[in-house]
């Protein structure tokens, strides 16, 4: 089993859970934890929308279709999911990024996504 990076969010606090229904995360522990083996950097806790799900499907990552052979029921709008940081950045650049939770977004997302881009989409952004 790979060793997890420290479980800290982008604000430097303890990483909060993203979702246990559906269960998410590279480690399928409900958190957007990561490690060096997580090539996709599944670190951004998103609240998916129909627009984002369609965008992701268009790009070849169908997150909405159930895949029972993998124990995956498919996502629906409103579900929370640990997204790959690069996919979030791509969606943000195409104006279809979902809302996110900073408290549940791993600090390693900052290797790919600027903090200000995350804050602009956060439902839990700190007071400015």
Over range 3-26, report the average pLDDT: 96
pLDDT at 6 exceeding the cut of 70:
yes
What is the structure's pLDDT at 14?
98
1 confidence band (pLDDT: 50, 70, 90): confident
- Tokens representing 126 are 């700190």
pLDDT at 16 exceeding the cut of 80:
yes
What is the structure's pLDDT at 127?
75
128 confidence band (pLDDT: 50, 70, 90): low
Catalogue the E-assigned strands of the chain: 42-47, 80-84, 99-100
**More confident call, 70 vs 23:** 23
Note the pTM of the prediction, 2 decimals: 0.94
């Amino acid at each position: 089993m790979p060793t997890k990076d420290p479980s800290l969010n982008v604000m430097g606090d303890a990483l909060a859970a993203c979702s246990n229904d559906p269960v998410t995360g590279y480690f399928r522990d409900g958190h957007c934890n990561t490690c060096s083996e997580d090539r996709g950097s599944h670190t951004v806790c998103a609240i998916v929308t129909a627009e984002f799900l369609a965008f992701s499907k268009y790009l070849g990552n169908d997150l909405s279709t159930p895949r029972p052979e993998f124990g995956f029921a498919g996502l629906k709008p409103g579900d929370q999911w640990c997204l790959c940081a690069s996919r979030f950045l791509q969606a943000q650049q195409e104006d279809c990024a979902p809302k996110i939770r900073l408290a549940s977004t791993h600090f390693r997302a900052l290797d790919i996504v600027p903090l200000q881009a995350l804050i602009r989409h956060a439902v839990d952004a700190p007071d400015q």
